[in-house]
């Protein structure tokens, strides 16, 4: 019996980091063998964003987001904003991200994080792209900025305003995000043995608002925890979702990949603007 043909998308994978420099070709080959057809690389600062765009332009099925992570908010200035704006002219760039707030580590002052987050939301609206949002112990503040921003977007973007990456909040906050035009990213923590609360919340979410992600090289799913994560492992997240919703793995792959296409504006991995 032939193995099922999967159509998976890893919507958050940091292939630009040096941990992948030595074996990137093998990493991409393993992803393809596991049915991963598309990968989005989010930038975390200007250099990272440049490399994400370069990788996306070099590898079919790979796309980029550009932005400054809250940890790096103190690096923000007008020159960074100007170059990020220029990078969005590449057809490989499909979002502004990874942006947001992180009040857990506070590697940049909270007021600076908030200001830079708001500036990048304004940039996303200006260039007409969705956002990839990081939130850690700051979901209330993130939604306080995100939801009013999304309400002002043009109709073509309002239903695909962005994604809450590595979602770990409650169902009520997720429902508010869904109503505001956002998706949520589901990754490796869904597979952890002590993550029953996350599984219970995820099982009550609408499947048409879920995205698969790895956050590689971080958040490696069971049974590979404490090893480097990579996009091939997104299949393990799909398998867990399949069990949660009681539907075939192929269906979960198709649903979440279509969600990613709806959000990021690509079609079956093609970068041709003529068929989007």
Task: Specify the CATH number for the domain of residue 241.
Answer: 3.20.20.140
Whether residue 138 lies inside any domain: the answer is yes
Residues whose CB is less than 8 angstroms from the CB of residue 155 and which lie 6 or more positions away in sequence, other chains included: none
Whether residue 160 lies inside any domain: the answer is yes
Residues whose CB is less than 8 angstroms from the CB of residue 252 and which lie 6 or more positions away in sequence, other chains included: 207, 238, 241, 242, 245
Whether residue 276 lies inside any domain: the answer is no
Whether residue 98 lies inside any domain: the answer is yes
Cα pseudo-dihedral 255, 262, 133, 211, rounded to 10: 10
- pLDDT of res. 2: 56
- pLDDT of res. 274: 25
Whether residue 261 lies inside any domain: the answer is yes
- pLDDT of res. 272: 33
Whether residue 70 lies inside any domain: the answer is yes
Q: How far is CA 272 from CA 60, 91, 92, 106, 265, in A?
A: 11, 9, 10, 40, 11
Residues of the chain falling short of pLDDT 50: 1, 268-276
Whether residue 3 lies inside any domain: the answer is no
Number of domains in the chain: 1
- pLDDT of res. 275: 21
Does residue 36 sit in helix, strand or coil? strand
Give me the domain span that covers residue 70.
13-269
């Amino acid at each position: 019996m032939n193995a099922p043909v999967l159509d998976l998308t890893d919507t958050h994978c940091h292939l630009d980091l040096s941990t992948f420099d030595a074996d990137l070709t093998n990493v991409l080959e393993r992803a393809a063998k596991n049915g991963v057809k598309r990968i989005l690389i989010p930038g975390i600062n200007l250099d990272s964003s440049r490399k994400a765009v370069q990788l996306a332009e070099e590898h079919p099925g790979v796309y980029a987001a550009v932005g400054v992570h809250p940890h790096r908010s103190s690096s923000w200035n007008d020159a960074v904003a100007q170059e990020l704006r220029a990078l969005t002219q590449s057809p490989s760039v499909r979002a502004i991200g990874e942006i947001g707030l992180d009040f857990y580590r506070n590697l940049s002052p909270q007021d600076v994080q908030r200001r830079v987050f708001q500036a990048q939301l304004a940039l996303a609206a200006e260039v007409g792209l969705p956002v990839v949002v990081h939130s850690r112990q700051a979901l209330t503040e993130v939604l306080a900025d995100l939801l009013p921003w999304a309400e002002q977007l043009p109709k073509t973007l309002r239903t695909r305003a962005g994604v809450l990456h590595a979602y770990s909040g409650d169902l009520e906050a997720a429902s508010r995000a869904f109503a505001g035009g956002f998706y949520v990213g589901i990754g490796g923590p869904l597979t952890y043995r002590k993550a029953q609360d996350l599984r219970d919340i995820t099982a009550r979410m609408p499947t048409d608002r879920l995205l698969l992600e790895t956050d590689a090289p971080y958040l490696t799913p069971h049974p590979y925890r404490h090893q480097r994560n990579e996009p091939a492992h997104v299949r393990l997240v799909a398998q867990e979702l399949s069990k949660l919703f009681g539907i075939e793995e192929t269906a979960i792959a198709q649903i979440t990949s279509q969600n990613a296409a709806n959000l990021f504006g690509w079609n079956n991995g093609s970068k041709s603007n003529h068929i989007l």
